Amino acid sequence: MQVFIENEAGSRQKNTYDEHTLAHLRSDTVSRAYPFPYGFVLGTRSGDGDAVDCFVVTRDALASGATVACDPVALLEQVEDGEIDHKILAVPAGAKADIGDDVVDALTDFISGVFAHVPGKQMRIGRLLDREAAEAYVTACRIDASG
């Protein structure tokens, strides 16, 4: 799958891109730095109407605006303001998947506090599911070229 990187690891800058044209729309500052590069899976649409969100679990620097071939390795259940907003955890294509407690802890800390500056924002984290669940979720969210 192809992941478009919106936000770089270590940055508190949240970039928003048009999911079709990939044009940069705006940048905002969030309350926590991204623990891993973050973006979306090209050619998908999730239940909230946006492309499927994806954390690329890597220590490699991935720049905002880059597109990276990735393999899904896990699915982190998340609900944002009452809407399903699950996150795919992926690694660069061919890389070893290492999703240990340290990764889960970093993601939980980030998700729990990233929007602390937004009054009333509600984030709920659910289960961490396996590769098969991640692959099934991406497949279910695929859209055709006209979508």
CATH architecture group of domain 2-141: Alpha-Beta Complex (3.90)
- The ranges assigned to domains in the chain are 2-141
How far is residue 54's CA from residue 88's CA, in Å, rounded to a whole number?
A: 5
Q: What is the DSSP letter of 28?
A: E
pTM of the model: 0.91
72: Cβ–Cβ under 8 A, 6 or more apart, which residues?
A: 1, 54, 88, 89, 90, 131, 134, 135, 138
Confidence of residue 147 (pLDDT cuts 50, 70, 90): very low
What average pLDDT does this structure show over 119-147? 85
**3-state SS class at 108:** helix
Kindly tell me if the per-residue pLDDT of 94 is higher than 90.
Answer: yes
